[in-house]
Amino acid sequence: MSSITLRKPIGFVGKFNRVLKNNKSTPKVLATLAGGIVAGTAIYVYSNNNNTPNKNNHLGKILASNAGAVAVLNKEKNFKDYQQVYNAIAEKVRDQDDADDGAGRYGLLTRLAWHSSGTYDKNTNTGGSYNGSMIYSPESTDGENAGLEVARDFLVEFHYLFPWLSRGDLWTLGGVVAVQECGGPKIPWRPGRKDLEDRKKVPENGNLPDASRDADYVRKVFTRLGFDERETVALIGAHCLGKCHTDRSGYDGPWGPSFNMFTNDFYVRLLQNWHVRKWDGKKQYEDDETSSFMMLPTDYALKEDSKFLKYVKMYAEDQDLFFKDFSKAFSALLEKGIEYPKDVKPFEFKTLDEQED
């Protein structure tokens, strides 16, 4: 269970959520409420693949030129507007703190933000979170994204509450909320992503990490993303959150007991003794002490490679250092492939707890 205390929702979102829970015609309710909340905006039609036709209306001019992934900034919106979005997502996350047998939605939303960004290829400057393209083929069929429709469905109501927000911005901001609300570090974040208009820009499958592989493979994938070994180990530390499901990834179980709290526990446990689990599923490791927790082959590879192991030990001994490095690397991951003007500074959002102090 999480150590975070549940509280009454802030603002209109609590009332909005209560209506949703008690109404069988959710899409109609969403349309009605969205019309009242956001005057003058179009009503967005819900579809099974979350393909909300968000065209980013009333956006400011495209900043810079030539590159296809240039940040598009909405001049009518400021920090307070995005903090409101943050709060709305955070309230719903808190309401579902006990979901998935106590794992909540923290790991799920972090994974959505990670995977929507992790298709980036620095060699071709393609992929990444800019277009919010996961709902389109072939990216939608990538086996590494199995189960993420749950995360997208979780966030879809916010397309109606905030129709000026792109999918890419919503999905990455959801990851920021997840990390911060379960005790993690501040994640600097900037808006500016634009919903996909050209289906040819949907990245091919195969760019997301395959959890069954070895250290050389891990190094190759993260190098393609533009990260060094230290950043690689820091980013994989997000496995402190959530758990694996056989009906999604084919793996099973949590990495540790505190799967709804952001800590350095992943590294501490990785340094303990593990063995290959004997079962009918994919190869994974389980801890010698309790046989209750798991590690993926790519996790265990960090322990077997001396260059990676150095940082595993470093983060196991110093959680503050892990938080600092993760914050920087995760923020960079969410912006891979996006060009921002130098004067556009990132936002750092206050958690719900901080706003109540």
Coil vs helix vs strand at 200: helix
Tokens representing 193? 């992503």
Beta strands in 217-304 (DSSP E): 243-244, 253-254, 274-276, 285-287, 294-295
274 is catalytic: no
Coil vs helix vs strand at 259: coil
Helix axes 319-334 and 106-117, enclosed angle (nearest 10): 50
275 is catalytic: no
CA distance 306 to 213: 17
For residue 234, the surrounding DSSP H or E stretch is helix 229-236
Residue whose tokens read 């179009």:
42
Single out the catalytic residue among 114, 115, 189, 239: 115
CA neighbor of 77 nearest in space, from 165, 13, 155: 165
Spatial contact of 296 and 211, defined as CB atoms under 8 Å apart: yes
What DSSP character marks residue 23?
Answer: -
CB atoms within 10 A of CB 59: 17
Per-residue DSSP letters for 298-327?
HHHHHHHSHHHHHHHHHHHH-HHHHHHHHH
CB atoms within 10 A of CB 251: 20
Residue whose tokens read 């968000």:
54
Single out the catalytic residue among 164, 189, 255, 274: 255
Strands 274-276 and 285-287: antiparallel
Residues in the chain, total = 357
The set of catalytic residues is: 115, 255
